[in-house]
A = this chain, B = another copy of it.
Amino acid sequence: MSGTEQPKQYVLGIDMGGTNTKFGIVDARGNVLSQGGIKTSNPDINGYMEELKSGLNVLINGVGGIKKIKAIGAGCPNGNYYTGNIEFAPNLPWKGVVPFANMLSESFGVPAAITNDANAAAVGEMTYGAAKGMKDFIMITLGTGVGSGIVIDGKIVYGHDGFAGELGHTIIVRGEKGRVCGCGRKGCLETYTSATGVARTAREFLQDSDRPSVLRNLSLENISSKDVFDAAMQDDELAKDVFHITGKILGEAMADFVAFSAPEAIILFGGLTKAGDLILKPVVESMEENLLSIWKGKVKVIFSELKESDAAILGASALGWEL
- Chain A residues packing against B (C-beta within 8 Å): 87-88, 135-136, 150, 152-153, 155, 157-167, 169-171, 173-174, 183-185, 252, 255-257, 259-264, 290, 292-295, 298
Are A150's CB and B183's CB within 8 A?
Answer: no
Are A160's CB and B262's CB within 8 A?
Answer: yes
Are B153's CB and A135's CB within 8 A?
Answer: no
- Least distance between A109 CB and chain B CB atoms (Å): 31
Are B165's CB and A260's CB within 8 A?
Answer: yes
Are B163's CB and A262's CB within 8 A?
Answer: yes
Residues of the B chain whose Cβ atoms lie less than 8 Å from the Cβ of A171: 252, 255-256, 290
Give complex CA distance A261, B255 in Å: 16
Closest to A164 in B: B262
A sample of 13 more A-B contacts (CB under 8 A), given A164-B262, A165-B259, is A88-B294, A152-B157, A157-B260, A157-B261, A158-B262, A161-B294, A162-B262, A166-B292, A167-B260, A170-B260, A173-B174, A256-B256, A260-B261
Are A261's CB and B292's CB within 8 A?
Answer: no
Q: Per a CB cutoff under 8 Å, which of B87, B160, B259, B263 touches A136?
A: B160
Are B293's CB and A183's CB within 8 A?
Answer: yes
Give complex CA distance A119, B290 in Å: 24
